[in-house]
Amino acid sequence: MAAILVAGLALSACGGEPSLTEYATELEAAVAQMNGRLDELDAELSETSDIEQVKRYANERVAARYTFVRFLETLDPPSNVSDLHDAALGIMGRVADAESALADYVNEVNSLTAIDDFWSTPLGVAARSADAEAIEICLAAQAELDTTKRSDLADVPWIPPELKEVVEVAFGCITEER
């Protein structure tokens, strides 16, 4: 993650706006890292009655979410996707905050009947709802970047370079697609 943050800061320091390809490449790596960590945590947890393991799970999910939010805050988007970037930053901040509130609740509990009980609480429902919004913005970002697939314009000399740019990313927005 440190390498991604350094790269993001380096692009900002160089002045000028990053290309859509540079932006998308950095974003894709950060999304993959966060999703990979969340998937690892989910796999480690499975069904358990160990409250300490559930607390660690909740806290590490929050850490992964906030690491991603901090990364988004450092990433300088190209102007043509800045509104989408700002929306994603807002939604991911809400996801991190909602999961943090749920983790605070989990950290106060001393017993557990099932992990699903936490996701069923009002805090858990709020976290899942925020996550559903994050999936929607992820899919929207993927669709927006997919519109750059215009390789037929690559050899047209009068087309500006930013319109010739082809960006291919796979955010893995939906768990089943990763």
The domain ranges of the chain are 2-11+21-135
pLDDT of residue 93: 97
pLDDT range class, residue 29, cuts 50, 70, 90: very high
pLDDT in tens, 132-178: 999 998 988 888 877 765 555 456 566 555 555 556 667 788 877 77
Helix 51-74 to helix 20-45 angle (10° resolution) is 180
Contact assessment for residue 167 and residue 145, using Cβ atoms and an 8 Å cutoff: yes
DSSP reduced 3-state for 170: coil
Identify the residue whose tokens are 């190209």.
Answer: 78
Q: What is the mean pLDDT of residues 43-50?
A: 76
pLDDT of residue 134: 94
Q: Does 38 or 3 have the greater pLDDT score? A: 38
Q: How far is CA 47 from each of CA 64, 119, 154, rounded to the nearest angstrom?
A: 21, 13, 52
pLDDT of residue 132: 95
Written as one letter, the residue type at 74 is T
Q: What is the mean pLDDT of residues 103-130?
A: 87
Q: Does 119 or 64 have the greater pLDDT score? A: 64
Contact assessment for residue 62 and residue 96, using Cβ atoms and an 8 Å cutoff: yes
Q: What is the mean pLDDT of residues 36-44?
A: 92
pTM (2 d.p.):
0.78
pLDDT range class, residue 8, cuts 50, 70, 90: very low
